[in-house]
Amino acid sequence: MLSPTSSQVPAAASPYAAVFIDFENVYYFLKNHYLDPQDPHDYALELVRNLRDSLKTEQGLDSLVLYAYADFDKLPTGPQGPLYLMGVGTRNVLGTDHKNAADMQLCIDAMEVLYTRPDIGTFVLVAGDRDYIPVLQHLRRQARQVKVVGFRESVSGDLLLMLGQEHFIDARQLLPAERLQALEDHRTARLRAGDARRLREQGGRALPARLTAADVAEAPAPGQGPAPEAAGPEAAPAFAPVRRVTNADERRCLAFLLEQAQRYAGTQGTPEIWASPFLRRLTDMLPELPDWERRQLISHLRDAGALRLEKREGEPNPFSVIIVNYQHPDVVELNPSAEK
């Protein structure tokens, strides 16, 4: 049966959807975040199948177009056959070391469907890079409904800010509770094994998975941190009064800062980290947060006494640097090998 024409079904009221799946992104997120070294093949396929069924049963959308993108030659278990049986067409794209090549082909196909299938009223992207923002904006200007599906950690906060949370579908909700729990259990076991391995390598103490009430109780209260040295003509600015960092994103940011300090501070010739390059790298580390929230993390860590920001003179413009407080209790926990 032929699909309705644009004169029969206005785009805004269309019950038909086109689904574009960055399968490579889904596959490697499941592998790296949860299952490494196991293969996430079955989970990725289950997610795609449940998405198609959920769009039909919960939103009344019939997915007339379904495409999945990946360098399938690099995926060990060959998902193309099962995807075909689900009605999903596959686009084999050659990957590169710098960028997921699926992005460009996905955007080209989305534009082709937009202009050749006026009966399609909803576009669903199983992808979350901020590079998709111009395409999503264009689709919305053409009066198409747009939805983004993904795991919260892998979806750009800037993209969600533009699109709106109501148009986001959490990929975790597409997996049965017992399957999701199996993923979480595997991740917990893997993280514990990694902590134990680092403990053996460093000869230090294990890092807690999260702060406990006792941890917080042992922390110096605000205003009771180490007293700053007496101010003199060349005295360095003091850190803010120490308080413990309990927010999960702030701790992730602090851990990443310590990693970057070990990697880059030596090459810069100082124990400082340049703020602007660090914020750009933090975008890749915390893509789910919009820019203003990533900047806010730095401000909160500064207020907790874990770091301070200083201005430096430079050409053509001054620049800011980040200096870590290696006496801060959370820095000690997250970076036990740091020199005190």
Both structure tokens of 119? 């009966």
pLDDT at 118: 95
CA distance 244 to 30: 32
pLDDT of residue 311: 83
Name which of 156-160, 244-248, 262-266, 300-304 the model is least confident about.
262-266
CB of 70 within 8 A of CB of 23? yes
Where is pLDDT greater, at 168 or 266? 168
Q: Buried b vs exposed e over 194-203: b needs ≥16 C-beta within 10 Å?
A: eeeeeeeeee
Residue ranges with strand state E in the chain: 16-22, 62-70, 89-92, 122-126, 145-150, 168-170, 273-274, 307-312, 319-324
* Residue range 213-334, CATH number: 1.10.10
Looking at residue 233, what is its pLDDT?
A: 45
Tokens at 98, concatenated: 């710098």
**Arithmetic mean of pLDDT over the chain:** 81
- The boundaries of every CATH 1.10.10 domain in the chain are 213-334
Mean pLDDT of the 286-306 span: 86
The residues with which 147 forms a beta bridge, in sequence order, are 124
Q: What is the average pLDDT across 145-160?
A: 91
CATH 3.40.50.1010 residue window(s) in the chain: 11-175
Asked whether the beta carbons of 52 and 64 are under 8 A apart, the reply is no
DSSP assignment of 35-98: ITTS--HHHHHHHHHHHHHHHHHHH--EEEEEEEEE-GGGSTT-THHHHHHTT-EEEE----SS
Query: Given a cut of 90, is residue 20 above it in pLDDT?
Result: yes
Cα gap 3→1, rounded to integer Å: 7
Beta strand 89-92 with 319-324: parallel, antiparallel or unpaired? unpaired
For 41-65, what is the mean pLDDT?
96
Per-residue model confidence (pLDDT) at position 22: 93
Please count the residues of the chain: 340
Per-residue pLDDT at 234: 46
Q: Which of 112, 99, 98 is nearest to 20 (CA)?
A: 112
Q: Where residue 172 falls among pLDDT bands split at 50, 70, 90?
A: very high
Report pLDDT for 224.
41
Instruction: Say what the pTM is.
Output: 0.63
Amino acid at 212: T
CATH number at 11-175: 3.40.50.1010
Q: Which residues face 172 on adjacent strands? A: none
Residues 6+ apart with CB under 8 A from 224: 241, 242
Indicate whether 148 pLDDT > 50: yes
Determine if the peptide bond prior to 40 is cis (ω within 30°). Answer: no
- At 4 the pLDDT is 45
Task: Give the three-class secondary structure for 208.
Answer: coil
pLDDT at 209: 40
Q: What is the pLDDT of residues 219-246, one digit of tens each?
A: 344 344 444 444 444 445 688 899 999 8
Residues 6+ apart with CB under 8 A from 299: none
Q: Yes or no: say if 33 and 102 are a contact pair by the CB < 8 Å rule.
A: no
**Average pLDDT value for residue range 296-305:** 90
In this prediction, residue 216 carries a pLDDT of 36
Higher pLDDT, 121 or 314: 121
CA–CA distance, 115 with 134 (Å, rounded to integer): 16
Percent share of the chain, pLDDT over 70:
76
Task: Tell me the per-residue pLDDT of 92-132, one tens digit each, with 9 for 90 and over.
Answer: 998 655 455 778 899 999 999 999 999 999 999 999 888 89
Work out the pLDDT band at 340, boundaries 50, 70, 90: very low
Confidence of residue 70 (pLDDT cuts 50, 70, 90): very high
Q: Which of 60-69, 84-93, 289-298 has the lowest mean pLDDT?
A: 289-298
Could you identify the residue written with the tokens 């979480």?
184
Residue 37 confidence (pLDDT) above 50: yes
